[in-house]
Structure 1
Amino acid sequence: MVRRVPIGLGLKMAAAWVAIFLVLFIGFTLKDDFVALGKRILNDGGGEAQVAAGEALRIRKSLDGHFWVTARVNNENVRFLVDSGATVTSLSAETAARAGIVGSGGMPVLVDTANGMVQAQRGRIEEIQIGAIRRRDLPVHIAEAFGDTDVLGMNFLSSLSSWGVEGQWLILRP
């Protein structure tokens, strides 16, 4: 009834089980990366990122899980991360300079960002246009510390009649 397994065969079987466990563990750990890669390969979520639907503007969620929108800021194209957690629209110093927006020069404000507290200058966008949605004299924060990410905040979103997420789309209604 008792069968002895040679030591070499036993070690091979143990190594095979360890390899199977490692492959399953790595597959489970990186499943989100594999899904994102599959979407890129199949071009799922590709196509037009901003689509006008009547007066509304539909913005497709990007592969990174965020909503990105291209806007005209004082006749300059600027790519914004739409962030309902940001109270005020924020521009990098480089974007502000390119769009001709200058800081007020007064006391800087402290802005709580995902990367911690930073000092920023107050400024104003003369005109911002996203699709058919146009706003004038929009307050902004300007700082070097924002890096290369420009953020469209609640001061813009709350100027709309409504906005919301429907599936993979952000809908902005003027």
Structure 2
Amino acid sequence: MRLVLGLVILGGALALLLLSGDDRPVLGMDPDQFAQLAMATGFLTVIVAGFWHQFRDRMGANLTALMAWGALGAALVAGYAYRDEARRIGDRMLGAVRPGSAVVASDGTVTITRRADGDFHVRAEVNGQAQGFQFDTGASSVVLTAESAASLGIRPSASEFSVRVSTANGVTVAAPAFLDTLRVGDIVERRVPALVSRPGALRENLLGMSFLDRLASFEVRGDRLILRGR
């Protein structure tokens, strides 16, 4: 049936061309344009009719599939349109499930959720590498454990351990260093002064005042640590 319909269209177009002569317009088009349009329409009719025949034979299943694809397309469009809101919601969920993860708000503030042990563990990046820090306003500087510093390629010589620092294990000495970048969420500080502790002196890196003093502000509000960059 679909082949017959296509042939009827092509036959009708041929008849019009024959009746109009060689140079007379056909339906406002020159003969060549009309012939091309007629052929394209005939072929398209055959293809669409064949598709409809297949679609009609399994109407229920095909409608279900069509609705599913339509819903998927609408979800993709909505996801793209509201991608920023979706990202913020995802960040909040991650911060609640994984304390220490930086949650970036629309105003640029970064929020850290307190751990179950009562401390703020901050997941950061130092020179592009992931590092964990304990938030510590009592530390005058960012302090890296010897192991963390070594993983970053910072290995002070014995003679460089000349700065006296107080830790939970008592007074020890540390070596001065500079961090090319220190990132927490969207807050990035460059050339941050830091100290490298002796092996075994610290169990965790400390996020101290050499980084915190560079911020516009920071505050603890309940179980949240809120950082604001400049």
**SS in structure 2 at match of 1:146:** coil
Q: Which residue pairs with 1:171 in the alignment?
A: 226
Runs of 4+ in 1 over 4 A off after TM superposition: none
Q: Which residue pairs with 2:205 in the alignment?
A: 150
Native 8 Å contact 2:161 2:173 kept in 1: no
When you count strand as a share of all residues, which structure comes out higher? 1
1:92 and 2:145 are equivalent in the alignment = yes
| Separation of aligned partners in 2, 1:78 and 1:166 | 24
When you count helix as a share of all residues, which structure comes out higher? 2
Give the letter aligned to residue 73 of structure 1. Answer: V
State the TM-score, normalizing by the size of structure 1: 0.69
| Separation of aligned partners in 2, 1:137 and 1:128 | 8
Q: What is the deviation of 1:107?
A: 5.4
Native 8 Å contact 2:167 2:202 kept in 1: no
Q: 1:165/1:107 Cα in 2 relative to 1: closer, same or farther (>3 Å)?
A: closer
Q: 1:75/1:136 Cα in 2 relative to 1: closer, same or farther (>3 Å)?
A: same
1:1-174 equivalences under 5 Å are 46-49=96-99, 50-54=102-106, 55-103=108-156, 105-106=159-160, 108-143=162-197, 144-174=199-229
Q: 1:127/1:81 Cα in 2 relative to 1: closer, same or farther (>3 Å)?
A: same
- 1:89-136 CA distance string (max 9 Å, x none): 100111001112243753511101122101111111111111000011
Alignment length (residue pairs): 130
| Separation of aligned partners in 2, 1:157 and 1:130 | 11
| Separation of aligned partners in 2, 1:151 and 1:46 | 22
- 1:20-64 CA distance string (max 9 Å, x none): xxxxxxxxxxxxxxxxxxxxxxxxx94243311121000001001
Native 8 Å contact 2:110 2:228 kept in 1: yes
Return 5+ residue gaps in structure 1 as ranges: 1-44
CA-based RMSD of the aligned residues comes to: 1.7
Using CA pairs below 8 Å that are at least 6 residues apart, which structure has the higher relative contact order? 1
Structure with larger Rg: 2
**SS in structure 2 at match of 1:155:** helix
- 1:138-162 CA distance string (max 9 Å, x none): 1111121433310000111111000
Return 5+ residue gaps in structure 2 as ranges: 1-94
Identity of matched residues, %: 36
